[in-house]
Amino acid sequence: MSEKTENSKNYGRRDFIEKGMRITLGLGLAGVAGITALKGDKGGYVWQLDPFKCVRCGRCADYCVLTPSAVKCYHVYDLCGYCDLCGGYLKPDANDLGTAAENQLCPTSAIRRRFIEDPYFEYDIDKELCIGCGICVEGCTSFGNGSLHLQVSHEYCVNCNECAIARVCPADAFMRVPVSSPYLIKGDFTVGTATGSE
């Protein structure tokens, strides 16, 4: 084989690899841009859960396409009593008011309790541990001020065309809300600021 033929062959491979890499990079960037556009804005609306309609059935934890669910517990500090005996944190039949796992209502220990001053405690939600089961929300609603409630957390949600949880929600509590105000937090939420399921 001549030197000229050998150099042409090598150049052809390099050219082929270089063009292939450019095409792959271009397709990758186009895909990322497309996913970002879909996630951030589906016609200007995202899925959200109305905390006043929610019946805390537990389906948010089981039916979301993500594991763990994109639905997370949110705490409205303005509504909280900062109680020592928190219905959303402690089991009703707890042997002790301490932080031991056997006394906690949350199955994943996603609620963190911090002493403020006697007899007040502050409760924070660890979103990474929360599975959206609503057990703490049920406890807070039954034995407290209702400061805990569920919301679709948009840092996790992929904004499916048809939300898998919305299809099975017995209270029809899921709706599409404007992407500019994606949360329906108790205390700031007035009915009529969100749209029905679209």
* Statement: residue 98 has pLDDT above 70: yes
User: According to the model, what pLDDT value does residue 40 have?
Assistant: 47
For residue 34, how many C-alpha atoms fall within 13 Å in the half-sphere facing its CB?
A: 6
| Per-residue pLDDT reduced to its tens digit, 154-170 | 999 999 999 999 999 99
User: According to the model, what pLDDT value does residue 176 have?
Assistant: 96
CA distance 69 to 64: 5
User: According to the model, what pLDDT value does residue 28 have?
Assistant: 58
- pLDDT classification of 100: cutoffs 50, 70, 90: confident
Identity of the residue numbered 10: N
Residue found by looking up tokens 């928190």 in the block: 86
* Statement: residue 102 has pLDDT above 70: yes
Which is more confidently placed, 128 or 26?
Answer: 128
User: According to the model, what pLDDT value does residue 36 have?
Assistant: 47
- The two tokens of residue 176 are 């599409």
User: According to the model, what pLDDT value does residue 168 have?
Assistant: 97
User: According to the model, what pLDDT value does residue 170 have?
Assistant: 97
* Statement: residue 179 has pLDDT above 50: yes
User: According to the model, what pLDDT value does residue 3 have?
Assistant: 54
| Per-residue pLDDT reduced to its tens digit, 42-64 | 459 999 999 999 999 999 999 99
- pLDDT classification of 129: cutoffs 50, 70, 90: very high
CA distance 171 to 75: 21
CA distance 194 to 178: 7
- pLDDT classification of 198: cutoffs 50, 70, 90: very low
